[in-house]
Amino acid sequence: FLHLCLIPLLIILVLPPVNFTLTVSALAQVLLHWEPNPAQEQNNCTIRYDVEILSPVPEEYDTGRTRSVRTAALHDGFSARVRTLLLQGNLQMSSDWVQVNLPPLPGAADTSVTNVSCVTRVTTLGNVSLCCTWLPGPGAPGDTKYFLFYRYEAHTEECPTYSKDRRSRSTGCRFANTQIEPAGIDKLIVIHINGSSQRAAIKPFQHLFNQNAIEKVNIPRNISISLEQNDLLATWEKPISPFHEECFEYEFYLINLKSGNKISSNSFQLRVDGSSSYASRVRANHNHICRARGVWSDWSETIAVGQNKLENSITWVLTLLCVSLSCTLLLVAVICKLNHIWRKLFPPIPTPSNKFWDPFPIDYEVKSYKINPSFSAQGKGCSAI
């Protein structure tokens, strides 16, 4: 059906655009292009186009141009449609839709990678590193080799360093340096992972990450914790980042080593019990002032302060346990000695009787002899009695 644009004394047909095409212009990027219908009469009407992305992510917008570029994961295909809009004052009429589809990327089912996860960090040199991990597809053969590419705006690059599982399949990738802008806001990082195998066609997988959402903030620097009377003072510097100090928020974690109470605070000055010992640590993240919050940094190393240091407390406890154990053992030994409990608990072992006949007995009988006085007097002869 053709819709009409009504103006005084004229009836204008609203015709759909022609030569509507979808072209893959880069990784996960589609160029939508069409031409005005040559038979379309304008007659003081404004021509615009209504564009609707049907998949993979629904989106609708209008434009006065005849081309549009969209970034989307294409492994499951892409579908869009367009129609002509004629506008005059408050009057708007539209044509029929023209729809075009891109087929899914080729490959066997269940061979695509799964559980793709990526994290970026700003390095000490001001560059951005990228680290990604994934799991092999459940239907991927054992000889499958995966290859990762990332695209940031017009730059595309393959992973230089892979990590592998026990079957020598790639399951991780690290870029020490990338073309990702450290101060970029809400820009997309495209991840494309394809594969090869002698036994099956490996289906590619694509994923889009917002660079703000996957940036893991660095740990705050130069952390100093001190205890002055009843005031605990903590100071630190912002993490390595191109953003200013006001773009960060912090979580300050305090543990009272004496009472066991835990306090979470963004403050760096607290009123505390000066007779106690404390352990503290800090982590950072972006706040909403400069950009969307990303991934919290790791906790800093724990710093202990106070009169009773953590090491002294542990030493004191161990010493007290050793002394208590020694005194307890000595007391038990004295009690056992006094009450002859030791002999009752451990009586002497009796000598076993000999139940066997000895074929070669040894006569241990001691014989007595009397000396004949006459012999001793005469020097000869003797008799045993």
Q: Tokens representing 179? A: 């073309």
User: Are residue 183 and residue 93 in the same domain, yes or no?
Assistant: no
The predicted structure's pLDDT at residue 145: 93
Residue 310 has a pLDDT of: 45
**176 and 230 share a domain?**
no
Q: Are 120 and 129 in contact (CB under 8 A)?
A: yes
Closest CA to 274 of 235, 228, 233: 228
Using DSSP, state whether 265 is helix, strand or coil.
strand
Whether the Cβ atoms of residue 170 and residue 147 lie closer than 8 Å to each other: yes
What is residue 325's predicted lDDT score, i.e. its pLDDT?
A: 82
pLDDT of residue 280: 87
240 plus 203 within the same structural domain:
no
Residue 193 within a domain: yes
Helix and strand numbers, DSSP H then E, in the chain: 4, 25
- The percent of residues above 70 in pLDDT, for the chain, comes to 78
- DSSP label at 245? G
- One domain for residues 243 and 302: yes
Residue 279 has pLDDT above 90, yes or no: no
For 276-299, b/e burial (b = at least 16 CB within 10 A) is bbbbbbbbbbbeeeebeebbebee
The rounded distance, in Å, linking the Cα atoms of 206 and 330 is 72
Sign of the CA dihedral with 82 first, then 87, 92, and 94 last: negative
pLDDT of residue 9: 38
* Higher-confidence position of 371 and 57: 57
Alpha-helical (H) ranges within 217-359 are: 310-338, 341-345
pLDDT of the residue at 338: 64
Same domain, 92 and 155: no
Quick one: 210 and 226 in the same domain? no
Task: Look at residues 166, 190, 214 and tell me which one is the last residue of a structural domain.
Answer: 214
Reading the block at residue 342, the tokens are 């030791």
Are 54 and 121 within one domain? no
The first and second tokens of residue 308, run together, are 């009773």
Q: Does pLDDT of 5 surpass 70?
A: no
Query: Rounded mean pLDDT of the chain?
Result: 83
Q: In terms of domains, do 97 and 18 share one?
A: yes
* Cα distance between residue 75 and residue 66, in whole Å: 26
200 contacts: CB under 8 Å, gap ≥ 6:
108, 111, 139, 140, 141, 144
Check which CATH number belongs to the domain holding 172 and give it. 2.60.40.10
The predicted-structure confidence for 111-168, as pLDDT tens digits, reads as follows 999 999 999 999 988 899 999 999 999 999 989 999 999 999 999 999 999 999 888 8
Give the Cα separation of 38 and 18 in Å (integer): 8
Note the pLDDT of residue 359: 54
Amino acid identity, position 64: G
Domain residue limits at 132:
114-214
Domain final position from 214, 239, 255: 214
Is residue 124 domain-shared with residue 71, that is, in the same domain?
Answer: no
Number of domains in the chain: 3
How would residue 24 be classed by pLDDT, with cut points 50, 70 and 90? very high
Of 151, 179, 214, the domain-final residue: 214
- Distance separating alpha carbons of residues 382 and 385, to the nearest angstrom: 10
